[in-house]
Structure 1
Amino acid sequence: MSPRTPLAWKNLIGNPARLCVAAAGVGFAAVLMFTQNGFRNALLDSPVRLIEVVDCELVAISPARYMLPVDERFPRSLLRRVKADPAVTDVQALLIERTMARVRVEGSPSRPIRVISVPNASLYSTGAGDSPRPWLNIAGLDENRDALRQRDTALVDRKTRSEYGFQFDHSGNPADQRIELSNQSIELVGSFTLGTDFANEGSLLIAESSFANYFPRRGYGKPLETVDLGLIRLQDGASPEEAAERLTEMAAGQWQVLTRQQIRDREQTFWSEQTPVGMIFLIGTLMGFAVGIIICYQILFTNLQDAMSEYATLKAMGYPNRFFVGLVVRQSVYLSVLGFIPAVLIALLLFRMLESLTGLPMALTVSRAGSVLVLTTLMCLISGLLALRKLVRADPASLF
């Protein structure tokens, strides 16, 4: 028995010029969805970058801190109290200043910037030849921790927006520039990589011991006694969920202790569901999907219309409607794949360019690419089935 003629594939490649236009149209819609999804994912990924680089099981925050960029804090004394809990092995405070932190690079205007403290335990060894377990796993911090011990020094995020005026050499180290932080001179002794988000366009790392020098009015004159994030490490085998609930109850109303996954989910839920930005990007994805349906419908309808007499002959010969449905479904799947492949390559280049320009994490994972492929295929299937209505409903004689 001879194999069946791949009619759906033959219909697509019968006119190479039309096929290229069709694939380009599908690819254009896919790139639109990739871009909107990329910005939405950046919106969700960027606020939790700091949570992802802390090395601990639990994170304590003020109950009034409904999102991480909000300047709501709790007293450091609470962290000292949790050391008595048998499940806790170590605690550390993370100080973040945004409101009073303004940086000025020579030749550029003063701009607000996020300043993050580096715990002293991450800068000094615990014994001769001993390297401490870092509290912050930030790329570039470990190589520069010796330089950061010096007074009035800082590290700058390489992904800080260019508007700040920071200059870097070919190896990514900051160039020699005069820098002021909160109207005081500061020396940049290295760089790190963390990234920006929708609330912070740049970041500096400074030693906790230097934090009070630059922000003396923080915490009503006690800058080191008000904590933004409390980092808590647990004994091996301890349940993070149970410990978080127990420690929260220890000072109910004064702080909230969450696992890293809980605070990540909480932050991403806020940005996706409670801010207009998240809804805008979701609507943008749906608009790309709708545009794709219109483009694909025009392409597949024209293709069916041009071959209508041939389809009428097949229908008159007794071919059932399910044959034509299957034909259009296969044709739609082929078209979606042909349009998706170049769209992925374009999206990768576009994401790399946008990440370089904005500092936002424009990550294209396999699962995220797969979701766009599903949307692209569904888009083509809906378009194909809409275009098929005339053929399915018509009498064969009326099609000649």
Structure 2
Amino acid sequence: MSRRTPLAWKNLIGNPARLCIAAAGVGFAAVLMFTQNGFRNALLDSPVQLIEVIDCELVAISPARYMLPVDERFPRSLLRRVKADDAVADVQALLVERTMARVRVAGSPARPIRVISVPDETLPAASERAAEDSSTKTKRTWLNIPGLDENRVQLRRPGTALVDRKTRSEYGFDFESFGLGPSGAPAEQRIELSQQSIELVGAFTLGTDFANEGSLLIAESSFPTYFPRRGMGKPLQVVDLGLIRLHEGHSPEEVAKRLTQMAEGQWQVMTREQIRDREQTFWSEQTPVGMIFLIGTLMGFAVGIIICYQILFTNLQDAMSEYATLKAMGYPNRYFVGLVIRQSVYLSVLGFIPAVLIVLGLFRVLESLTGLPMALTLPRAASVLALTTLMCLISGLLALRKLVRADPASLF
């Protein structure tokens, strides 16, 4: 049995120089789409980084807090009230200050920064930490932030803080560096938070977003020291995020609805998934930034169609006499459509593979420079591959029109 000649593949590899140029053109368009998609995904991932690191089933916020960076709070007394609910296992307050928080590093101007509280009861003394380290039992914490656990003892001392390694370089923080970007402990520097001295005793890794360019972690008990005017002079009596854990066997959705009704109008209780989806929907649909990056992706798609059309049209034009011979021999139009489709798919894959390698390095550099989470997941890569393949298919079918419509005799 004779094997069918892979004509589409032969046409592509027949001229290696042209193939490299064609793959580069497709790869360029794929990198454009990857980059725009990457920034759009960073827009959606970055605002919920704090939600991703908290360990609880429900989150309570003020109903006026239409997005997480807004400084709207609810009374701490509400968290104490919900402890009476049979479904509630434990509660914790999380304080976040943005409006009053300004940090100044010696030699740099003061800049606004996000300050996040660490519950005092999760900060062990040195003797407690030694006993904890000797135990094999894993203790559940409220904040699973990389770098926090090893610095909890130091953070117990008044006037101390941890700084996010991904804080923008404009703040002036110095870190020990290993490889690309800061990865070690902060260097000794003179730091002021809200015009008061503060000591950096370690670093953690969380990330920036489009509203916050840097973050500090301080003990909850330090909030009155640095933000005495918070909450109308009662800094610890207002809460930004209420963290609620449930006993096993209770539906988070049902408990969230019941707790919201307990103090309707004063707070809103949601599951972590609900608040994450709400935040991402807001940034995607109610801000122009999401639409800008979507348009950028479509522009990359359009540029790719133009590039691929020129490549495939030239390829078809150069082999037009050969195609005319096949058409005169009785090959139907669907044969040529299938030929161009296969050629388009081959070209999309050949351009996509180097594009992925380039983007992996590019995303790492961008994440180091901006602090934004430039993550390339398998589903996101698959979506760009689908767009790249569709781009090549559209270009190939457009380039094929002349061959399909022409009379074989006119092609010689």
TM-score range, shorter chain: over 0.9
Instruction: Please state whether the residue corresponding to 1:166 is helix, strand or coil.
Output: coil
Specify the alignment match of 2:343 in structure 1: 331
Specify the alignment match of 1:397 in structure 2: 409
- Of residues 164-173 and 331-340 in structure 1, the stretch that sits farther from structure 2 once superposed is 164-173
2-structure distance, mates of 1:205, 1:172: 17
* Structure 1 unaligned spans of 5+: none
Measured after TM superposition, the shift of residue 169 of structure 1 is 1.6
Choose the corresponding residue for 1:145, options 142, 148, 152: 152
Choose the corresponding residue for 1:178, options 142, 165, 190: 190
Q: List per-residue Cα deviations over 1:124-148 (Å, max 9, x = no partner).
A: 3898935752110000000000000
* Structure 2 unaligned spans of 5+: 133-137, 178-182
Measured after TM superposition, the shift of residue 235 of structure 1 is 0.2
Residues 124 and 132 in structure 1, CA contact (< 8 A), matched pair in contact too? no
Instruction: Please state whether the residue corresponding to 1:172 is helix, strand or coil.
Output: strand
Kindly indicate whether residue 207 of structure 2 is the aligned counterpart of residue 200 of structure 1: no
Residues 312 and 397 in structure 1, CA contact (< 8 A), matched pair in contact too? yes
Kindly indicate whether residue 62 of structure 2 is the aligned counterpart of residue 68 of structure 1: no
Specify the alignment match of 1:85 in structure 2: 85
Q: List per-residue Cα deviations over 1:200-241 (Å, max 9, x = no partner).
A: 000000000111100000000000011000000000111100
Instruction: Please state whether the residue corresponding to 2:33 is helix, strand or coil.
Output: helix
2-structure distance, mates of 1:98, 1:152: 18
1-structure distance, mates of 2:368, 2:56: 30
1-structure distance, mates of 2:332, 2:64: 65
Specify the alignment match of 2:175 in structure 1: 168
Kindly indicate whether residue 352 of structure 2 is the aligned counterpart of residue 340 of structure 1: yes
Specify the alignment match of 1:263 in structure 2: 275
Residues 94 and 119 in structure 1, CA contact (< 8 A), matched pair in contact too? yes
Give, as a single letter, the amino acid of the residue that structure 1 aligns with 2:172. G
Specify the alignment match of 1:95 in structure 2: 95
1-structure distance, mates of 2:289, 2:120: 37
Choose the corresponding residue for 1:276, options 284, 288, 309: 288
Residues 122 and 132 in structure 1, CA contact (< 8 A), matched pair in contact too? no
Kindly indicate whether residue 323 of structure 2 is the aligned counterpart of residue 315 of structure 1: no
Give, as a single letter, the amino acid of the residue that structure 2 aligns with 1:322. R
Instruction: Please state whether the residue corresponding to 2:51 is helix, strand or coil.
Output: helix
2-structure distance, mates of 1:383, 1:226: 59
Specify the alignment match of 1:155 in structure 2: 162
Give, as a single letter, the amino acid of the residue that structure 2 aligns with 1:241. E
- Of residues 119-128 and 329-338 in structure 1, the stretch that sits farther from structure 2 once superposed is 119-128
Specify the alignment match of 1:36 in structure 2: 36
Give, as a single letter, the amino acid of the residue that structure 2 aligns with 1:104. R
User: How many pairs are equivalent?
Assistant: 400
Q: List per-residue Cα deviations over 1:17-59 (Å, max 9, x = no partner).
A: 1111000000000000000000000000000000000000000
Measured after TM superposition, the shift of residue 306 of structure 1 is 0.6
Specify the alignment match of 1:248 in structure 2: 260
- Of residues 125-134 and 375-384 in structure 1, the stretch that sits farther from structure 2 once superposed is 125-134
Residues 37 and 285 in structure 1, CA contact (< 8 A), matched pair in contact too? yes
1-structure distance, mates of 2:173, 2:128: 36
2-structure distance, mates of 1:39, 1:127: 43
1-structure distance, mates of 2:55, 2:373: 20
Specify the alignment match of 2:116 in structure 1: 116
Specify the alignment match of 2:135 in structure 1: none
Kindly indicate whether residue 202 of structure 2 is the aligned counterpart of residue 190 of structure 1: yes
Measured after TM superposition, the shift of residue 351 of structure 1 is 0.1
Instruction: Please state whether the residue corresponding to 2:163 is helix, strand or coil.
Output: strand
Residues 122 and 136 in structure 1, CA contact (< 8 A), matched pair in contact too? no
1-structure distance, mates of 2:122, 2:350: 51
Choose the corresponding residue for 1:233, options 225, 245, 254: 245
1-structure distance, mates of 2:210, 2:128: 40
Specify the alignment match of 1:306 in structure 2: 318
1-structure distance, mates of 2:359, 2:128: 49
Measured after TM superposition, the shift of residue 122 of structure 1 is 1.8
2-structure distance, mates of 1:127, 1:254: 38
Residues 94 and 227 in structure 1, CA contact (< 8 A), matched pair in contact too? yes
2-structure distance, mates of 1:299, 1:249: 62
2-structure distance, mates of 1:257, 1:43: 24
2-structure distance, mates of 1:51, 1:6: 52
Normalising by structure 1, we get a TM-score of 0.98
Residues 309 and 399 in structure 1, CA contact (< 8 A), matched pair in contact too? yes
Measured after TM superposition, the shift of residue 121 of structure 1 is 2.3
Give, as a single letter, the amino acid of the residue that structure 1 aligns with 2:272. R
Specify the alignment match of 2:397 in structure 1: 385
1-structure distance, mates of 2:121, 2:404: 73
1-structure distance, mates of 2:119, 2:93: 7
Give, as a single letter, the amino acid of the residue that structure 2 aligns with 1:211. F
2-structure distance, mates of 1:222, 1:63: 20
Specify the alignment match of 1:296 in structure 2: 308
Give, as a single letter, the amino acid of the residue that structure 2 aligns with 1:340. F
Specify the alignment match of 2:383 in structure 1: 371
1-structure distance, mates of 2:165, 2:39: 20
Specify the alignment match of 1:22 in structure 2: 22
Give the 4+ runs in structure 1 shifted more than 4 A: 125-128
Distance 1:173 1:309, change over 3 A: same
Instruction: Please state whether the residue corresponding to 2:60 is helix, strand or coil.
Output: strand
Percent of aligned pairs sharing the same letter: 86
